Amino acid sequence: MAEGLTAMTKREVAGRFAGLGLGSGRPVIIAGPCSVESEEQILATAHAVKAAGATALRGGAFKPRTSPRSFQGLAEEGLRLLALARAQTGLPVVTEVMDADQIDLVAEYADVLQVGSRNMQNFTLLKQVGRAGKPVMLKRGLSATIEEWLGAAEYITASGNDQVVLCERGIRTFETHTRNTLDLSSAVAARQLSGLPVIVDPSHAAGRCDLIPALSRAALAAGIDGLMIEVHPDPDRALSDAQQQLDFAAFRQLMGDLGLLPAAALESLEACRAEIDRLDEQLVALLVRRTETARQVGRIKAQAGLPVMQEGREHALLDRLAERAGGALPAEELKAIWGAILESSRREQEALRR
Ligand code: PEP
Ligand code: MN
């Protein structure tokens, strides 16, 4: 299955999506309205999602709608507005290209070209979109198998562009309670098989706002590289997909729950304290597990007749952590904090020998 793809695109390609934040170790969060509707709407949304920690902006300018009577998008004006939002926020723009004729135009404005579900097997579009020199996000077709999805991706990579991100957005099943069914197992399998980054779009998968938080958590827990989430200033009045767009407050809440809300987004003392309390609870649970593990190390060392203090190991550990913190935590602070943790471990281990 899609052998060329597997051979050609190892996970390291994630580094090539650096502009999108892929490969940074933090999930990419592409957020924005289903459709670009007006300057006010897209600018307000771009600023709100940026403040909440989104890493890219979405918004459709060319919309694939089930009915020709539905809103079809603002076309080039929508692209221009997306570029304006990027200029104001610095967020890269992900937007759909529906037709091979539109590639040059969309590529002029967008940072990532989205190929939508309904076009997943539009082979003319796939071959040409690969030549635009921009990363491509390929959404899974409504009823495409993994093999068909990866085959479609291979059309893009075969034209010399290995910057392909796959997006699972729900498939059609017998279930009618949700718009589609999020197929997380295929998302995980596609990631394993292709080596390409895979993101999940819980908005189109569920078609309902209330399920978005749980599906987002599930996707990230499964090791998925990111999420695409529809966010609108006033979802009830959205010109497309009104039921599945989060308002700003719900998106911010979700980012907080995912641990992705930037500290700068916390505006009151109460909000900061609530976040500190939440983090402290996580830290103490980790410290308890760390202490139990250190005691076990102590038992194993005692049995083997090894000393409690192994300086080389402590230095190596501190160096590794400093690298991991990447300057976000001053080296002295890191040393002081872990100095206390390591000292506590030593005391616990010495106590075992008495
Ligand atoms: C979209 O993301 O704007 C969209 C139309 O999604 P899909 O192609 O998954 O239906
Ligand atoms: Mn939509």
Ligand 2 centroid – CA 168 distance (Å): 14
2-25 pLDDT tens trace = 444 444 444 454 445 656 777 777
132-180 pLDDT tens trace = 989 999 999 999 999 999 999 999 999 888 899 999 999 999 999 999 9
The residue nearest atom 4 of ligand 1, judged by CA position, is 116
pLDDT at 249 over 80: yes
In this prediction, residue 353 carries a pLDDT of 85
229-242 pLDDT tens trace = 999 999 999 999 99
Can you tell me the mean pLDDT for 343-354? 91
C-alpha–C-alpha distance, residues 231 and 57, integer Å:
10
C-alpha–C-alpha distance, residues 352 and 346, integer Å:
10
Q: Which tokens in the block code for residue 19?
A: 């502009």
Can you tell me the mean pLDDT for 65-81? 96
Q: Which tokens in the block code for residue 102?
A: 């539109």
Q: Which tokens in the block code for residue 330?
A: 């001053």
Can you tell me the mean pLDDT for 187-215? 96
84-122 pLDDT tens trace = 999 999 999 999 999 999 999 999 999 999 999 999 999
Give the ligand whose atoms come closest to the C-alpha of residue 61.
1
The CA–CA distances, whole Å, from 36 to 98, 170, 215, 319 equal 15, 22, 25, 47
CB-CB neighbours of 331 under 10 Å: 12
Residue 179 neighbours by CB under 8 Å, 6+ apart: 170, 204, 205, 206, 207, 208, 244
Can you tell me the mean pLDDT for 248-252? 97
In this prediction, residue 1 carries a pLDDT of 43
153 against 314, higher pLDDT: 153
Looking at every residue in the chain, the average pLDDT score rounds to: 92
Ligand 1 centroid – CA 207 distance (Å): 11
User: Coil, strand or helix: which one is 31?
Assistant: strand
Q: Which atom of ligand 1 is nearest to the CA of 118?
A: 8
Give the ligand whose atoms come closest to the C-alpha of residue 96.
1
Cβ of residue 19 lying under 6 Å from some atom of ligand 1:
no
User: Coil, strand or helix: which one is 35?
Assistant: strand
221-231 pLDDT tens trace = 999 999 999 99
pLDDT at 65 over 70: yes
Q: Which atom of ligand 1 is nearest to the CA of 228?
A: 2
Ligand 1 centroid – CA 34 distance (Å): 8
Q: Is 302 exposed, middle or buried (0-12, 13-18, 19+ CB in 10 A)?
A: middle
Can you tell me the mean pLDDT for 177-203? 96
C-alpha–C-alpha distance, residues 158 and 152, integer Å:
10
In this prediction, residue 82 carries a pLDDT of 98
